[in-house]
Copies of this chain bind each other. A is one copy, B any other.
Amino acid sequence: MKRADSDLNVAREATSLRLLVEKRLRTAIGDGTFKPGQRLIERELCEQTGVGRTSIREALRQLEAEGLVDTVPHRGPVVSTITADEAEQLYELRAMLEGFAGRECARKRDPQILARLRKQFEIMGQVARQDDRSDLLAAKTEFYAAMLEGCGNVFVQRFLNMLLNRVTLLRMTSMTQKNRIDHSLKEIETILVAIETGDVDGAERACVQHIHNAAAIAVAALRKNEATAANESKIR
């Protein structure tokens, strides 16, 4: 990631069909159009998107590498599922990486980043009471994005993005609980303040704590699901 002195970057709008397909599929998986465990059949995707198998398949390879789909040989790709154990591991890693990001943001205190963080935080406060939580989610996403950029480590950035993509597979969780929103906002405020005041340890701790809390809820919900699913399969 090089940066020209004066920012007249023409960021190479790398637009190719397969990238569009990739993005399209990613969001389709993210927003639940394709549910975890669902098979993705090439021919159907071709029809739905109107592009050839080549592009579809290449896009799928990319998603596969990111762990968003699992490809079973001679059976094709299915949207990844995630077990409670894996989710626990995912959050564990995410806590570590996001802790790092928070720490680095607090250390660098890049004014641009600080401004973005605060702006998104304020938006969150404004839209928290809405029934429709999509605005809140968007603001939160933006908040994280700013923090990622602020950490200045492209690898952390990339990996965290991959993790976040997979977290969206567990959408039902964290935010569904009503008063969790208030808690969540408080935690985010703690993060923000720590970053703004340059409290590196505090920022890291706050991030880790925030993820841990989210993880606890998500994992518990997953475990419950798995338990009932196991029972049902017993009955059958």
Chain B residues in 8 Å Cβ range of A18:
61
Q: For the complex, would chain A's binding face be called helix, strand, loop or mixed by DSSP majority? A: helix
| A10 to B: closest C-beta gap in Å | 13
Which of B16, B83, B156 interacts with A93 by CB under 8 Å? B156
A-side interface size class: 20 to 34
The answer to whether the Cβ of A201 comes within 8 Å of any Cβ in the partner chain is no
- Residue A100 lies at the interface, judged by CB distance under 8 Å to chain B: yes
How far does the alpha carbon of A65 sit from the alpha carbon of B18 in the complex, in Å? 13
Residues of A139-187 contacting chain B, CB below 8 A: 152-156, 158-159, 163
State the CA gap A83–B66 with chains docked (Å): 24
User: Apart from A2-B83, A65-B66, what 18 extra A-B contacts exist at CB < 8 Å?
Assistant: A14-B73, A16-B73, A54-B54, A57-B58, A58-B61, A61-B61, A61-B62, A61-B65, A62-B64, A62-B65, A67-B158, A86-B154, A89-B153, A89-B154, A89-B156, A93-B156, A96-B100, A155-B163
